[in-house]
Chains A and B, each alone.
Chain A
Amino acid sequence: MELLSLSPPGWGGNLLRGLVNSLQIALGAFGLGLVIGLFGAYGKLYGGVVIRDLLGIYTTVIRAVPELVLILILYYVGTDLINQASEAMGYGRVEISGVVAGIWVLGVVQGAYSTEVLRGAIQAVPKGQIEAARAYGMPAFLVMRRVTIPAMMSFAVPGLANLWLIATKDTALLAIVGFSELTLETKQAAASTRAYFTFFLAAGALYLIVTLLSGVVFARIEKWARRGQPSLRAGQSR
């Protein structure tokens, strides 16, 4: 147990640092994914032919290729492109922060899934509600902010909750590019102490706690998003 204590010689501090890194990346990637997803969904629904085709390629490719492969591609391609650009401008190679790289790589992956979740949710909003907003003189952006997005939330939250959990776990894949998130920290701790079982059990528990807490948070969000909708459960409707 003292292996897990927070200060050296315990490795608990390293694990927690890894967890914080993981959460940071997951949160950033999820947020970036939401932004990409919102533009993607609107683009797919209302964009011109070119935009729709490009988005179609994006979501299909991202969802077809295994995430591990995508992470390798996006990470190395991404860092390579930035370095080339920087060298071309005469700055020399730049050190890319692991957190930023992780957020960009996972965010692009999340964006493809978010696009589909949000597109479905937007389509589920009753047309009449959007029409009423337009009929009363709301400009397009206001319609989106005040009507479409709040009204689609109840349809989107379950899918987004899934995406968030996938984001937290996908951070583990970043271990392959040497980013010290929870899984890599765990592996190092386990390798140095030979206490594989202890550390991976601890890491598993941490992932589980994240999932459970997320469940609570998303349940709240969903309840809020469903305000105004009669419960389907018998005895509570009307």
Chain B
Amino acid sequence: MEMGLDDRLGNGAGQNTADEAIKVTDLHKSFGTLEVLKGVSLTARKGDVVAIIGGSGSGKSTLLRCINFLETPSSGTITVSGEAVEMRADGSPANRRQIERIRTRLAMVFQAFNLWTHRTLLENVIEVPVYVLKTPRAEAIKKAKVLLDRVGLGDKAETFPSFLSGGQQQRAAIARALAVDPSVMLFDEPTSALDPELVGEVLTVIRDLAAEGRTMLLVTHEMKFAREVATHIIYLYEGRIEEHGPPDEVFGNPKSPRLQQFLKTVGW
């Protein structure tokens, strides 16, 4: 955290890379003729909580989705735990196996939860460990129960997602993410689909995860929360990083007029 801003953006040369969980360099992404990301670079070190803020359509989701290749970047490089993702000239992944392996280390939590509705919470949580990571079933179940307990859903293990509130579903989705022992967690507006009274219970869980030193990239509109848990804030404007820095600086003393305007519109 004591590094210069350029270092944080991955522009610093010769830095120790051993503790880099995610490093994105000059990422571009176009949908047809629409360029959504126009050269984004960022680095998250182990234990960092990087909050990504910005207006709707600024490319926050696209950025997260490029990192685990749910979207194919147009150009740029992505490194996960020091392992560079092999890309073809057009940005498409060159090695499907590698992508699949890397994805299991990047647990994603979606705005719409995206739990598998034909499976119980327990089944949702053990699905990836058992079928992708080949963890023995009994072991996966034991661990899943601990995780469901941890997010306050120990008594709902046999319930199907559709019978639960949004807050409960999102907490279950976080348990599913934790079940793969991720090196980085990717949150895409985890509370935006929730009724206001349910936001708190999900933020509490995420706050706990931040406190235990989990590395995460967190797209959020909860500015207070971002300031509280993040080690670093990135403000995205029209596909570029307009401003970034430690939370106290970005929120306490925003330099860019656009960021000042943005903070005003979200009622900061």
Which residues of chain B are near A147, meaning CB under 8 Å? 116
Give the contact-size bracket for chain A.
20 to 34
Q: Are A142 and B114 in contact (CB under 8 A)?
A: no
Q: Which of A80-104 contact B (CB under 8 A)?
A: none
Summarize A's interface: helix, strand, loop or mixed. helix
Q: Are B104 and A136 in contact (CB under 8 A)?
A: yes
Q: Are B163 and A135 in contact (CB under 8 A)?
A: no
Asked whether B263 is an interface residue with its Cβ less than 8 Å from the other chain, the reply is no
User: Contacts A134-B103, A135-B108, A139-B100; is A228 near B128 (CB within 8 Å)?
Assistant: no
Which residues of chain A are near B99, meaning CB under 8 Å? 137
Q: Are A228 and B161 in contact (CB under 8 A)?
A: yes
Number of interface residues of B (CB under 8 A): 32
Expressed in whole angstroms, the minimum distance between the Cβ of B202 and any Cβ of chain A is 17
Q: Are A135 and B103 in contact (CB under 8 A)?
A: yes
1/0 per residue, CB under 8 A from B, across A199-238: the answer is 0000000000000000000000000010111100000001
Asked whether B68 is an interface residue with its Cβ less than 8 Å from the other chain, the reply is yes
Q: Are A228 and B110 in contact (CB under 8 A)?
A: no
Q: Are B160 and A227 in contact (CB under 8 A)?
A: yes
Which residues of chain A are near B101, meaning CB under 8 Å? 137
Which residues of chain A are near B104, meaning CB under 8 Å? 136-137
User: Contacts A135-B70, A137-B100; is A230 near B163 (CB within 8 Å)?
Assistant: yes
Expressed in whole angstroms, the minimum distance between the Cβ of A11 and any Cβ of chain B is 47
In the bound assembly, the distance between CA atoms of A51 and B140 in angstroms comes to 41
Asked whether B162 is an interface residue with its Cβ less than 8 Å from the other chain, the reply is yes
Asked whether B147 is an interface residue with its Cβ less than 8 Å from the other chain, the reply is no
3 closest residue pairs by CB, A with B: A228-B160, A128-B114, A137-B104
B residues near A (Cβ < 8 Å) are 68, 70, 96, 99-104, 106-108, 110, 112-120, 127-128, 131-132, 160-163, 176, 180
Q: List 15 A-B contacts (CB under 8 A).
A: A128-B110, A129-B114, A135-B103, A136-B103, A136-B107, A136-B108, A136-B127, A137-B128, A139-B96, A146-B131, A151-B116, A153-B118, A228-B162, A229-B162, A230-B163
